[in-house]
Structure 1
Amino acid sequence: MELVYKESDIQEISKSILKEVALKTFAFYAPMGAGKTTLIKALVKELGAVDEVSSPTFGLVNEYADGEGNLIAYHFDFYRLKDEMEALDFGLEDYFNTDAYIFMEWPEKIPSLLPENLVSLKIEILDATTRRLTSFG
């Protein structure tokens, strides 16, 4: 999968991703400011979340539910982790064993903990308003 998009296309891009990919665990690789959180916000919204989506940088994980209170997604930001042990300490493996969607920012901080069945996505900055999303792995 390769998609080139602008922020104004983000909701259509998120629909395309969810339609094309059968897996529910996503790892986003991108530099700071590339739009990881923006894309995850659109994906979570597309899944039907009623909560405001924000980066869990300080809390490590945010969870989102639909209008009926059903859990639909977890959003992780591993940027501030010192090591993989911190992720294990807060029970990361338990999250991987749920039926919810999982969206991870900075997965390169926990390489040995990533599950086998995941979608690895790379976001590249092409210019101030344009991004390229590619899947790999």
Structure 2
Amino acid sequence: MEITFSLAEIDNAAQQILAQNIKKTILFHAGMGVGKTTFIKALARQLGVKDMTSSPTFSLVNEYETENGEILYHFDLYRINTEEEAYDMGLDEYFYSGNLCLIEWPEKTPNLIPIDHTSITIKQLPDGRRHLTVK
């Protein structure tokens, strides 16, 4: 699936993703500043999360509750230096918890990521829109 959208259309794009057969673990691939966190916030809004306020860059993981009481974990692994560090912090337990895990910078922990996952790649287009590919 591929979607091209402007920031004004981001909530609609998030709805389209959630309507697909996505896995509980979703990996986000994009360069710095392309909009991973912004898109994750849109997904969370569509799931009824009310308190989504910040990127977990310094805490590594934020936990939110959806409107139907499910747990959503948002990870920003940018500051992880080694996979061993991530393992020692118990990140794999989150990944295999059965809860929705939205992971920025998953390439930092390739051996901890569940095999059964969805990958989303976001690219910024010259006109400012984003092109999103789901695999």
Same fold? TM cut 0.5: yes
Within-5 A mapping of 1:1-137: 1-66=1-66, 70-127=69-126, 129-136=128-135
The amino acid of 1:72's aligned partner reads I
| In structure 1, C-alpha distance between the alignment counterparts of 2:3 and 2:84, rounded to whole Å | 34
Relative to structure 1, the CA distance from residue 22 to residue 31 in structure 2 (aligned partners, 3 Å threshold; closer, same or farther) is: closer
Deviation of the 1:71 alpha carbon: 4.1
Shift of 1:66: 3.3
Unaligned runs of 5+ in 1: none
What are structure 2's unaligned runs of at least 5 residues?
none
* Separation in 1, partners of 2:113, 2:57: 19
TM-score scaled by structure 2? 0.93
Paired letter, 1:15: Q
**Count of aligned pairs between the two proteins:** 135
| Residue 17 of structure 1, CA deviation | 0.2
CA deviation vs aligned residue, 1:1-58 (integer Å, no higher than 9, x gap): 1111111111000000010133121000000010000000010111111212321000
How far the C-alpha of 1:72 sits from its partner, in A, is: 2.4
Task: Give the CA deviation at 1:109.
Answer: 0.7
* Shift in Å, 1:93: 1.6
3-state DSSP of counterpart to 2:54 = coil
Letter in 2 for 1:83: T
Kept in 1, the 8 Å contact 2:47–2:67? The answer is no
Q: Percent identical across equivalent pairs?
A: 45
Rounded Cα–Cα distance in structure 2 between residues aligned with 1:38 and 1:21: 21
RMSD: 1.5
2:21 and 2:45 map into 1 onto residues whose CA distance is: 17
The whole-number CA distance in structure 2 between the counterparts of 1:93 and 1:80 is 16
- 1:128: Cα distance to partner? 5.0
Identify the range of structure 1 (94-103 vs 107-116) with the bigger mean alpha-carbon deviation. 94-103
Worse overlay, 36-45 or 98-107 = 98-107
Task: Check conservation: 1:44, 1:53, Cα contact below 8 A.
Answer: no
